[in-house]
Amino acid sequence: MKIKLLFVLTALHFLSACEEKPFYVANIGNAGSLDGPYSMGSVSVSDVLGGGGGFGYGAVNGYPGKSADIGRMGVPKHIEGYWAKKYSTGGFQFYYRISADIDSELAEKKFALSEAIMSLLKAKPAPCKSW
């Protein structure tokens, strides 16, 4: 009986010490356009850790565009917002709105794959060809 109790207490001790480290995927956000100015209203992303970030940096044109510190953001789970494409002469050409849940498990796998690819590319630089 004492051995079973010792086993249970040991198992609980090991399980209580296990805590998953938060997986942060971003700490800066970019907003930009390749086809002219947009007016960014309220566009925000929330993550699985309870945080999030916004992309409302004002009217932007050209990539990489405006950037802002968004703190630390984990794997995204929801995106919400609206924005509009401007005419070059003034006024708005198109209006956009999004409100959607994001598959967090798939997003985390994609971020992990991207990090793995980047670490491989950093480890093996491309050979330089001399012309």
Structure tokens belonging to residue 102: 């994001």
Parent domain of 43: 19-104
Segment 8-18, tens digit of pLDDT: 667 666 666 55
- For residue 59, the model assigns a pLDDT of 47
Q: How many residues does the chain have?
A: 131
**Degrees (nearest 5) of the Cα angle 89, 91, 94?**
110
Q: What is the pLDDT of residue 19?
A: 58
Q: Is residue 118 part of a domain?
A: no
pLDDT classification of 127: cutoffs 50, 70, 90: low
Q: Looking at residues 127-131, what average pLDDT do you find?
A: 61
Q: Is the residue at 11 inside a domain?
A: no
Sign for the pseudo-dihedral over CA of 68, 121, 77, 96: positive
Give the chain's mean pLDDT: 73
- Read off the pLDDT band of 3 (50, 70, 90): confident
Nearest to 42 by CA among 31, 26, 24, 56: 56
Question: Rounded to an integer, what distance in angstroms lies between the CA atom of residue 53 and that of residue 67?
Answer: 12
CA dist 55 → 9, 59, 124, 126 (Å) = 48, 11, 34, 34
In-domain check, residue 115? no
Tell me if 7 is assigned to some domain: no
Residue 128 falls inside a structural domain: no
19/126 Cα distance (integer angstroms) = 38
Rounded to two decimals, what is the model's pTM? Answer: 0.58
Q: Tally the domains of the chain.
A: 1
83: its two tokens: 């924005």
State percent of the chain over pLDDT 70: 57
Read off the pLDDT of residues 53-76 as tens digits, 9 standing for 90 and up: 776 654 444 444 555 556 667 888
Q: Is residue 9 part of a domain?
A: no
Please give the distance of CA 9 from its chain centroid, rounded to a whole number.
39
Classify residue 42: in a domain, yes or no.
yes
Decide: 70 and 54 in contact? Cβ < 8 Å: yes
In a domain, residue 112? The reply is no
